[in-house]
Structure 1
Amino acid sequence: MSDSTSPSAQEQQFLDAVQQALETQSFERLILSQYKGEMQQLKKMTFRLIELQQQPVLNVLYRHKTQDVTKNYPISDAMQIIAEHLACCKQGNLFASTQDVQLKRNKKKDLLTITQKTTMTKTDAHATQTHDRSKHRFVEQESLFLQHLGITDAQGQIIPSMARKWKQINKFVEIFSGALTQLSTQDQNLRVVDFGSGKGYLTFALYDYLAKQQQVPFVTGVELNEKMVQFCQHVAEASGFNQLDFFQGDVRTYQPERLDVMIALHACDVATDFAIHTGIRLNAQMIMCAPCCHKELRPQLKSPEVLKPMLHFGIHAGQQAEMLTDTIRALLLKAYGYETKVFEFVALEHTSKNKMILATKRADFVAPDTVVLAQIEALKNMYGIQKHSLELLLNNQWDQQDIGSKC
């Protein structure tokens, strides 16, 4: 902190560098650390530029000892906010596309270090900034919950063994972010349920993302494992995620009254069908599934005559049963008023369970589409399929209790 009310020459030079980076669009990020002000337990602040509603804003991540808090400020207020916070910190690090600048204070004087980078044109700098925005838009690597979950270490660096999970988390939130813009609801209080939430990697990331988009989400992770539930509840409290909770149970025992977003990643076998049915029944605006363990149709599968030479091989029959199962699921979602996509979630090197079914509710839905239902019936007849759990549930014909569990 400065010894006088006015900034030192080095501090003013640092602030000038920040302002220049903002004006020339070369600003990447700013970190102010070793905070000595009045906000208790605040450790450091990270400043970035992000876009909200197609307008640039200054995003500030306040990292406290036990939680992270994110706030967004108008660009017009950026320098005033940065100057006020810098006055209470012993170190500042500016990262720009043209230079890195460090301000470090000690008892005697302020030290300023400037490291020049390869000169960029304004166009190149803007392109770099745009890339950086997209890279940091979804999950901030410095978020405290990642450390609690064992994704990052105490310095905020990705633990090597968790690199694939980190990739999966980012891809999931990226997909969710794109689908969110297609929803007809304008409600800021989204109700989200994640069936089979496990250790909560994606559940936490989703809550964190929504909170940073100025949403007020209510997110529930549903998990059978009691120890997992206790662990996740503890992490939620430690991260300051006040409207994120976890319930011990499954899709049979947890019955929400309202549901805007239904998530079921890697729910085993027909548990996926129960989860999708819950989403459709409660008129969820978004349904995200990554099915696994497609066991139901395989014993029923009868090869069409022309396909018998191909499906004679067991691996091909299994792949065909999987494709048929998920095709019927996707078509049923389409028939019941959802724009539906089936695509690769992440590359196979990151997870073998990499297929996602993503469905968003159409505003014009009135009644099930009979043309699509006829397509489903034709597929079932072709392969000799007598029952598909999601279809039975939608027709109120389900008469079994065993719905499988998360793998």
Structure 2
Amino acid sequence: MNGKAVAKASKAEAELQEVLRPGQSIELLKELHILTREGRLNQDSRRKLKQVYHLFQFIEKLLLELPEEGTHASLADHGAGKSYLGFILYDLFFGPRGGGRVYGIETRAELVDKSRALAKRLGFDRMAFLNISAAESADAAELPAQIDVVTALHACDTATDDAIAFGLAKQARFMVLVPCCQAEVAACLRQTKALSLSRTPLAELWRHPLHTREIGSQLTNVLRCLYLEANGYQVTVTELVGWEHSLKNELIIARRTGQRKASAAGRLQELLAQFGLESLLETRFRPG
């Protein structure tokens, strides 16, 4: 290897070490195709890793609030996909502590099979992967009756609502949600648009199709936050990463207090009535 090649390799190694967290498994990142086989990081992978690390920081702080600083915590990751988040959480948090369990919940069987094989190969023996939907997971025998932390990173449309329902059923101490592709509320707004336009000038906010989609997305998350508050959670909403990295950027963190807010339940019902979405009281936002 000539001098230029050595210098280039050294620079690439230095850049990689700047990005990686201490103790991070290089082998894992290669298996997840975040790093190339040569151990290099491309621009797409850098963005993905930044997102996952940023979310890891939020979750790590919550885990440390649990008994024994989260050593024996349980975490369920909904819409796990290739389980980037679950594997990195295990590698950096659960693995070094020698306790705790991570459950990945994913509907695509091929991804579940690959994750199971990778966990076995790396010796991550306290990881389990379930080939079921978020809606089915609350009744799954493979999962314990109580889960400490529920995560859903870019779980599409109603899968985020199913993850919330799961968290409520499992009395989760924390829920960490990054919603994606909300379509259900927008579809309901389209169905009642003519009636709404005749009833209130507020319907101008979603008269045009593009605005319907945007208002539907915004309203969905507002309703979710009120629903969580009504069911005994303190809710914080923030950005996951800068907008230059992802448009699906809203991070909802819910902390269980056990104190149900009647005012939030009232506002939730008022908003549903105002937007002609009362039918969702029978599906997504059932009173507790």
Task: Calculate the TM-score normalised by the size of structure 1.
Answer: 0.58
Q: CA RMSD in A?
A: 2.5
How many residues align structurally?
258
Which residue type is aligned with residue 173 of structure 1?
A: F
In our comparison, the structure showing a higher alpha carbon Rg is 1
Deviation at 1:141, TM superposition (A): 5.0
Q: Once structures 1 and 2 are overlaid, which stretch shifts more, 284-293 or 158-167?
A: 158-167
Moved over 6 A (4+): none
The Cα of 1:182 is off from its aligned counterpart by 4.3
Residue deviations 1:216-275 (CA, integer Å, cap 9, x gap): 121111111111111111211222211112121112333222211111222222222121
Residue 239 of structure 2: aligned partner = 344
Structure 2 CA distance for aligned equivalents of residues 226 and 178 of structure 1: 32
| Structure 2 CA distance for partners of 1:385 and 1:161, relative to 1, 3 Å | closer
1:201 to 64, 84, 89: 84
The letter of the residue matching 1:277 is A
Q: How does 1:125-140 map to 2 (within 5 A)?
A: 138=21, 140=23
Cα deviations by residue, 1:202-226 (Å, 9 ceiling, x for unpaired): 1101111222562512111111111
Structure 2 counterpart of 1:355, from 246, 250, 268: 250
Following superposition, the deviation at residue 308 of structure 1 comes to 3.9
Shift of 1:358: 1.2
The higher relative CO (CA closer than 8 Å, separation ≥ 6) is in 2
Counterparts in 2 of 1:257-272, with a 5 A limit?
A: 257-272=145-160
Q: Aligned partners of 1:323, 1:391: CA distance in 2, in Å?
A: 16
Out of 296, 321, 327, the residue aligned to residue 184 of structure 2 is 296
Gaps of 5+ in 2: 1-16, 190-195
Query: Which runs of 5 or more structure 1 residues have no equivalent in the other structure?
Result: 1-131, 396-407
Matches within 5 A, 1:113-128: none
Residue 188 and residue 141 in structure 1: after superposition, are their counterparts in 2 closer, same or farther (change >3 A)?
Answer: closer
CA contact (8 A) 1:142 1:156 kept: no
Partner of 1:305: 200
Q: Look up the SS of the partner of 1:297 in the other structure.
A: helix
| SS across alignment from 2:80 | coil
AA in 2 matched with 1:198: G
Q: Is structure 2 residue 134 aligned with structure 1 residue 244?
A: no
Q: What's the secondary structure of 1:220's corresponding residue?
A: strand
Picking from 54, 66, 84, the partner of 1:171 is: 54
What is the match of residue 284 of structure 2? 390
Cα separation, 1, equivalents of 2:149 and 2:42: 30
Is the 2:25–2:91 contact (alpha carbons within 8 Å) kept by the matching residues of 1?
Answer: no
Partner residue in 1 for 2:271:
379
Deviations 1:125-152 (A, max 9, x none): xxxxxxx99x76x565553211111111
Deviation at 1:187, TM superposition (A): 5.2
Q: Which of the numbers 209, 217, 220 marks the counterpart of 2:100? A: 217
| In 1: Cα distance, 2:132 partner to 2:66 partner | 28
Q: Counterpart amino acid of 1:380?
A: L
Identity of aligned residues (%): 27
Q: Compute the TM-score of the two structures, normalised by the length of structure 2.
A: 0.80
Greater fraction of residues in helix: 2
Please list, as runs of the form range in 1=range in 2, the aligned pairs for 1:5-404 lying within 5 A after superposition: 138=21, 140-183=23-66, 188-211=71-94, 214=97, 216-254=99-137, 255=140, 256=143, 257-301=145-189, 302=196, 305-362=200-257, 365-366=258-259, 368-388=260-280, 389-392=283-286, 395=288
